[in-house]
């Protein structure tokens, strides 16, 4: 099978994020960037399908040249090749434009299945997978925690959690699947994998090479605009319950919850 995995580079989830002076973006200087954690599930699932059915895994990312680092991470995990869409005109594009650019790059590749993360942990919109599927005219299976590809490679059966139950969906291929936590446990890149990744091909393309109009991308062309970013309210310091025995601490805790927190 030929499998595509779309990758986004996002700030490390442990990084301290600061809002930029414009109030609409974040300060990027000094921030560590990583592969979007939900995309890691997509990479791992693609590799498992490849190991079972054979084929090739291609990772595709959009953004500045630093996105190559995340593509190389996927290559070190076991993906075969990468495609980077990098163009200054695409900086600040919304998920709809990003999906359009990814579709333009993918339509010229051979693919039976496409994975994306169910959402990016930065803007948290979860729209790229649906946009990509719409642009390519193929089925979209979202928030998936189990994937079973038929032996003939022509259909797929997936599980999606819904309201405490499980929705089982079957679809023809090709299709776009957005990966959710619980789908798998992503592997770590091995040292041999890291060394091999340095020699694997990563093709770079700009918007013009994909036949796209740069005026439809970037901050000015956003249909979804960020009006303001605000930090979460600062939390009060926690309180440590004191006592000479477990019983005394329990009594003090009950008193605090009743008189101060007023939750009991």
Asked whether residue 95 is domain-assigned, the answer is yes
The backbone torsions φ and ψ at residue 56, rounded to the nearest 5 degrees and listed phi first, read: -145, 140
Q: Are residues 81 and 165 in the same domain?
A: yes
Q: Are residues 59 and 166 in the same domain?
A: yes
Q: Are residues 216 and 249 in the same domain?
A: no
What is the per-residue pLDDT across 67-101, written as a single tens digit (0 to 9) for each? Answer: 999 999 999 999 999 999 999 999 999 999 999 99
- Give the pLDDT confidence score for residue 226 in this predicted structure: 87
Which one is predicted more confidently, 57 or 231? Answer: 57
Q: Are residues 122 and 181 in the same domain?
A: yes
Q: Are residues 180 and 257 in the same domain?
A: no
Q: What is the CATH number of the domain that holds 205?
A: 3.40.50.620
Q: What is the pLDDT of the chain when averaged over all its residues?
A: 94
SS3 per residue for the chain: CEEEEEECEEECCCCCCCECCCCCCECCCCCCEEECHHHHHHHHHHHHHHHHHCCEEEEEEECCCCHHHHHHHHHHHCCCEEEEECCHHHCCCCHHHHHHHHHHHHCCCCCCEEEEECCCCCCCCCCHHHHHHHHHCCCEEEEECEEEECCCCCEEEEEEEECCEEEEEEEECCCEEEECCCCCCCCCCCHHHHHHHCCCCEEEECCHHHCCCHHHCCHHHCCCCCCCCCCCCCCCCCCCCCCCCHHHHHHHHHHHHHHCCCCC
Q: Are residues 122 and 185 in the same domain?
A: yes
Q: Are residues 131 and 243 in the same domain?
A: no
Total structural domains within the chain = 2
Q: Are residues 241 and 215 in the same domain?
A: no
- Give the pLDDT confidence score for residue 132 in this predicted structure: 97
Q: Are residues 207 and 239 in the same domain?
A: no
Q: Range of 257's domain?
A: 234-264
**17: pLDDT confidence band, cut at 50, 70 and 90?**
confident
- Give the pLDDT confidence score for residue 235 in this predicted structure: 83
pTM: 0.86
**32: pLDDT confidence band, cut at 50, 70 and 90?**
very high
With a cut of 90, say whether residue 158 has pLDDT above it: yes
Cα 223–225–227 angle (5° rounding)?
160
- Give the pLDDT confidence score for residue 181 in this predicted structure: 95
Q: Are residues 170 and 263 in the same domain?
A: no
Asked whether residue 228 is domain-assigned, the answer is no
Q: Are residues 108 and 37 in the same domain?
A: yes
β-pair partners for 85: 62, 205
What is the per-residue pLDDT across 125-152, written as a single tens digit (0 to 9) for each? Answer: 999 999 999 999 999 999 999 999 999 9
- Give the pLDDT confidence score for residue 105 in this predicted structure: 97
With a cut of 90, say whether residue 234 has pLDDT above it: no
With a cut of 90, say whether residue 196 has pLDDT above it: yes
């Amino acid at each position: 099978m030929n499998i595509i995995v779309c990758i986004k580079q996002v700030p490390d989830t442990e990084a301290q994020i600061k809002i930029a002076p414009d109030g609409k973006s974040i300060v990027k200087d000094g921030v560590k960037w990583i592969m979007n954690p939900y995309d890691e599930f997509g990479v791992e699932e693609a590799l498992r399908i490849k190991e079972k059915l054979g084929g090739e895994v291609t990772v595709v990312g959009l953004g500045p040249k630093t996105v190559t680092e995340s593509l190389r991470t996927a290559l070190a995990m076991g993906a075969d090749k990468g495609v980077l869409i990098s163009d200054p005109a695409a900086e600040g594009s919304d998920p709809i434009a990003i999906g359009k650019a990814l579709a333009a790059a993918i339509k010229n590749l051979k693919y039976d299945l496409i994975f994306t993360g169910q959402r990016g942990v930065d803007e948290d919109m979860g729209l790229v997978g649906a946009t990509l599927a719409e642009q390519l005219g193929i089925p979209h299976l979202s928030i998936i925690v189990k994937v079973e590809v038929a032996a003939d490679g022509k259909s797929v059966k997936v599980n999606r959690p819904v309201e405490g139950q499980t929705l089982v969906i079957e679809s023809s291929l090709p299709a776009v699947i957005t990966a959710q936590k619980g789908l798998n446990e992503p592997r770590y890149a091995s040292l041999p994998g890291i060394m091999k990744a340095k020699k694997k091909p990563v093709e770079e393309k700009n918007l013009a090479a994909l036949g796209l109009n740069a005026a439809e991308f970037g901050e000015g062309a956003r249909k979804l605009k960020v009006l303001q970013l605000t930090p979460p309210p600062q939390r009060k310091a926690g309180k440590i319950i004191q006592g000479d025995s477990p019983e005394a601490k329990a009594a003090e805790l009950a008193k605090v919850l009743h008189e101060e927190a007023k939750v009991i």
